[in-house]
């Protein structure tokens, strides 16, 4: 049984935090689906992930390609992952389910601390998942590094 990790971004933008979390996930042998709500946002995020340079190469692709099943990291709006993901990272408030938390290695919810709508959505997701009995951890980068602030 996995857990839901909530990452409250206050000191760094998503495009800076996400590659580090993806690298950590890949080092654990997980396949990752980065789930968003808007294909144009995922296009933008795809471009940001390619900017890391050779030393920070992060193998990934966008859903809808010929080799989706082979991608270690797949950017998608689809709730079913074509790459056999064992970790889902929700961005821009994308839906995550109790079943995913209970069956995957990890579910991550990344949200912008400066966006009131994103905060409200993350709070609702936390409430829904913990009321359903899912394990959850809340992490914040307010000190400049990730610190666990709460766990249920």
- 126: domain CATH number is 3.40.50.10110
Whether the predicted pLDDT of 78 surpasses 80? yes
Q: Minimal CA–CA distance to 109: which of 83, 128, 81?
A: 128
Tell me the per-residue pLDDT of 105-136, one tens digit each, with 9 for 90 and over: 999 999 999 999 999 999 999 999 999 999 99
Domain for residue 75, yes or no? Answer: yes
Domain for residue 99, yes or no? Answer: yes
Domain for residue 15, yes or no? Answer: yes
> Edge-to-edge, what's the strand order for the sheet holding 73-76?
61-62, 73-76, 32-35, 87-90, 106-112, 4-9, 136-140, 147-151
pTM of the predicted model over 0.85: yes
Domain for residue 61, yes or no? Answer: no
Domain for residue 58, yes or no? Answer: no
Tell me the per-residue pLDDT of 12-66, one tens digit each, with 9 for 90 and over: 999 999 999 999 999 999 999 999 999 999 999 999 998 865 566 788 999 998 8
Return the residue matching tokens 């993806």. Answer: 22
Domain for residue 25, yes or no? Answer: yes
Helix (H, G, I), strand (E, B), or coil: what is residue 102?
A: helix
Number of domains the chain contains: 1
- CA pair distance 85, 96, nearest whole angstrom: 13
Q: Which helix (H) or strand (E) holds 101?
A: helix 98-103
């Amino acid at each position: 049984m996995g857990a839901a990790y909530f990452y409250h971004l206050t000191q760094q933008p998503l495009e800076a935090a996400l590659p580090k979390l993806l690298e950590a996930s890949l080092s654990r042998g997980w396949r990752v689906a980065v789930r968003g709500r808007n294909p144009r946002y995922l296009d933008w995020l795809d471009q940001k992930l390619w900017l890391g340079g050779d030393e920070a190469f992060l193998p990934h692709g966008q859903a809808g390609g010929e080799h989706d099943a082979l991608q270690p990291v797949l950017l998608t709006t689809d709730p079913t992952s074509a790459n056999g993901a064992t970790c889902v990272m929700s961005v821009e408030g994308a839906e995550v389910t109790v079943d995913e938390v209970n069956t995957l290695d990890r579910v991550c919810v990344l949200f912008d601390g400066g966006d009131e709508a994103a905060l409200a959505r993350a709070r609702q997701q936390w409430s829904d998942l913990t009321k359903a009995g899912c394990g959850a951890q809340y992490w914040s980068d307010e000190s400049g590094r990730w610190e666990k602030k709460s766990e249920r």
